Structure 1
Amino acid sequence: MAEVKKIRVGFIGCGGHSSATLQPNAHMVEQIDIVAMCDLDAAKARRAAERWNVKACYTDTNVMLKEQQLDAVIVCGPPMMMQPMTKEMLGRGLHVFTEKPPAVSAALVKELVDASEKSGKFGMVATHWRHATPYAKARDIIAKPEFGQPSHCQGWFYAPGPTGPLWGGNAIEGYLWAQGVHLVDCTRALMGDVVAVQADVRGDEKSFDSGSVSLKFKSGATGVLSLVARACYWTGHRVFGTAGGFVEVQNGRELRCALPPFWTGEKGVDYLNQSFQTWNSSPFIPGYAGLGYMQELQQFASCILDGKQPVASLKDGYEAMRVLEAIRDSAASKKMITL
């Protein structure tokens, strides 16, 4: 049996999200060998190392890089920490997997794109929705000739929060950076580049309740995004095709679709009795693993081993941040923003 090739990875940031999500999923990816844990809080680094049987833990990245021969790092923390850390690690010759958002402005993400191009190492952004199996299946369905060209997309993200200022930004920016980034990135993965945005929100700099966004895509397709705070968690997309195709993903786990030819009766298409094909993730898949977290880390490792560029790249992160800024600016100006 052939030996599995692995990449040597160090974690930078061992807080709540890193411990609850990224570390467990990285541990399940056979191409990843976690060799070091690093956090400014020595207790967090030590707990993470003990939990995953990692021999080395650090509070200083310089010491970690001096003592360990790494292929890549996984950076997880607030964006004010991740942007300079990602930039530094790229400059030191390492591939970087960074949590979202990689920074709090498009200009700062562009610095990471430039650093990646200069170093020859890639960065990948942890916008995990697009990697979830239902979304991969949805893209395959959209690509079928019988679906037609994607003509319209509806996307939604309802969540309990955040509802107030976050990461140095106001309440509207906080929700967009923390939650809206997933919706925008996955919408781009399904529909392509956004060229115009018109947005309206209920909220202000101190409090965010909801927002509605109209999109125009480079392809000519249209879209609508719905963002709601102070709500139960519910996410998803619906995409419609010019030939009558339809596909929907809910909560990153459930998919349903319909493709022509449709059932017809004596008077033509029987709209009331239209049937859908459905697919659901296995209930035996561990919680976060079913939402694309493990798949994105698998791609990160595979791209390093195969010398390929990942999707959800730093360039994707830059384009997503441009859309988020356009949403913010359109909501403030009450005008359409072109990109």
Structure 2
Amino acid sequence: MEEKKRARIGFVGCGNHATSSLYPAIHLIPEFHLVAVCDLKQELAERNARIFGAEKWYTDVSRMLKEEKLDGAIVVGTPQMHCEVGKQCIDAGLPIFVEKPSAVSYKDALALAEYARKKGLWGSVAYMKRYSVCYNLVKTITEREEFGKISEVETRFSNGPYPSIWGIKENARAFLIGQVVHIFNLVRFFAGEVEEVYARLNSVTADRFGYAITAGFKSGAVGVMNLNALESTEWKVSERLAVSGYDCWVEVEDMIHLRYHPGIVPIPGFSPGGREQTIEWRPDWTELMATKAEGAFGYKGELENFARSCLGLDKPKADLFDGAKDLEIAEAVWESATTGRPVKVKGV
């Protein structure tokens, strides 16, 4: 029996997010061969190599790139690291996978994307929501003829107090760049490119605030976003998405509960007929016993897509140019919130 080809991957970064959400998914991906791991802290590189089965560990990324024969590189750290180390990997002739945000600004993210393209290479950005089971079910539903054209997208996202990070002075701006680029990418996944945003910001304290955002899409659809750091004293995430079609809509809560309200009542012939008849999906508790990386939330899917893309078997669902587009929206929202004016999004 012919052995399945695997992409030889080097993984740079052994911090908390990578170790808890990404590394645990690797053993589930047949096309993924973890050749080497790298971290500036030797104890972390040794630990992840031991736990997750890498053949070698390094504390110097230049040495890893020189000594190992790789098909691709994963870089997970600060956005500044994504740009700096990402370019090193591109210079070594490798496609890259970076965490979101791909950079700390639209300008830097676009420069990274252009850098890869000029070298004849590409990169993926870790927007795991595009690979989650629930949002892909929504994608399937909204692309059916019965759903009609998407007319409106509504999102609500909340977590606890948000810090000032990565040299970004304002907590509320850091929130747009470091957290809710996920949501900007998600609404683009369904409604297409954003054309204009108008935002209001309510700053309660430096790290507790809320945005009310309206968006217009090039498709003609409109969107409403409630993005806040107000609803918990701790880091607790709450997320809702609703997509309206024609005579129907679909909504998702916390990526694990989907309700589809079709235009035609599923069980007709009763009076009252029950306009709230819905088709529902949620994983049962046995399906959620696995780690979050192995479950329904997209971490496995994004790594699997990268490995398969390195082998020429797939294409990224979210590339470096997507990373730039989402940061452009973040900057437009900040400009609108601080000037009180609608802001056009030019697009990459």
User: Given the two structures, how large is their TM-score scaled by the length of structure 2?
Assistant: 0.91
Partner in structure 2 of residue 276 of structure 1: 278
**Selected match of 2:299 from 274, 293, 297:** 293
**Residue 285 of structure 1: how far off its partner (Å):** 4.1
**Residue 172 of structure 1: how far off its partner (Å):** 1.2
* 2:178 counterpart SS class: helix
Match runs of 1:123-162 below 5 Å: 123-162=123-162
Partner in structure 1 of residue 312 of structure 2: 306
Quick check: 1:21 aligned with 2:15? Answer: no
Match runs of 1:197-236 below 5 Å: 197-203=197-203, 206-231=206-231, 232-236=236-240
Of 316-325 and 278-287, more deviation after overlay is shown by: 278-287
Output the amino acid matched with 1:288: A
2: CA distance between counterparts of 1:247 and 1:98? 31
**Selected match of 1:315 from 317, 321, 330:** 321
Partner in structure 2 of residue 256 of structure 1: 259
* 1:287 counterpart SS class: coil
* 2:53 counterpart SS class: coil
Output the amino acid matched with 1:298: E
Partner in structure 2 of residue 7 of structure 1: 7
**Residue 127 of structure 1: how far off its partner (Å):** 1.0
2: CA distance between counterparts of 1:146 and 1:69? 49
- Is residue 175–residue 208 contact of structure 1 (8 Å, CA) maintained in 2? no
Q: Deviations along 1:318-337, whole A, 9 cap, x unmatched? A: 11111111111100001100
Unaligned runs of 5+ in 2: none
- Is residue 172–residue 205 contact of structure 1 (8 Å, CA) maintained in 2? no
Taking a change above 3 Å as real, the CA distance of residues 89 and 204 of structure 1, as seen in their structure-2 partners, is farther
**Residue 252 of structure 1: how far off its partner (Å):** 1.6
2: CA distance between counterparts of 1:205 and 1:3? 57
Partner in structure 2 of residue 168 of structure 1: 167
Partner in structure 1 of residue 344 of structure 2: 338
Partner in structure 2 of residue 324 of structure 1: 330
| Aligned residues with identical type, % of pairs | 31
Q: Deviations along 1:73-114, whole A, 9 cap, x unmatched? A: 110111121111112211221011100101011110111111
Taking a change above 3 Å as real, the CA distance of residues 61 and 135 of structure 1, as seen in their structure-2 partners, is same
Q: Deviations along 1:138-165, whole A, 9 cap, x unmatched? A: 0110011111100001012111142x31
Match runs of 1:6-155 below 5 Å: 6-155=6-155
* 2:179 counterpart SS class: helix
* 1:226 counterpart SS class: strand
Output the amino acid matched with 1:21: S
Of 114-123 and 254-263, more deviation after overlay is shown by: 254-263
* 1:306 counterpart SS class: coil
Output the amino acid matched with 1:192: G
User: Given the two structures, how large is their TM-score scaled by the length of structure 1?
Assistant: 0.94
Of 189-198 and 50-59, more deviation after overlay is shown by: 50-59
**Residue 306 of structure 1: how far off its partner (Å):** 2.0
* 1:73 counterpart SS class: strand
- Is residue 157–residue 179 contact of structure 1 (8 Å, CA) maintained in 2? no
Quick check: 1:237 aligned with 2:241? Answer: yes
Q: Post-superposition, which runs of at least 4 consecutive aligned residues in structure 1 deviate over 6 A?
A: 263-267
- Is residue 207–residue 229 contact of structure 2 (8 Å, CA) maintained in 1? no
- Aligned-residue Cα RMSD (Å) equals 1.9
**Residue 236 of structure 1: how far off its partner (Å):** 2.4
- Is residue 171–residue 205 contact of structure 1 (8 Å, CA) maintained in 2? no
- Is residue 58–residue 64 contact of structure 1 (8 Å, CA) maintained in 2? yes
2: CA distance between counterparts of 1:2 and 1:204? 61
- Is residue 165–residue 205 contact of structure 1 (8 Å, CA) maintained in 2? no
Aligned length: 335
Of 12-21 and 230-239, more deviation after overlay is shown by: 230-239
Output the amino acid matched with 2:261: A
2: CA distance between counterparts of 1:16 and 1:30? 24
1: CA distance between counterparts of 2:125 and 2:66? 25
2: CA distance between counterparts of 1:98 and 1:128? 12
Q: Deviations along 1:45-91, whole A, 9 cap, x unmatched? A: 01111112223111101111121101111101111211111122112
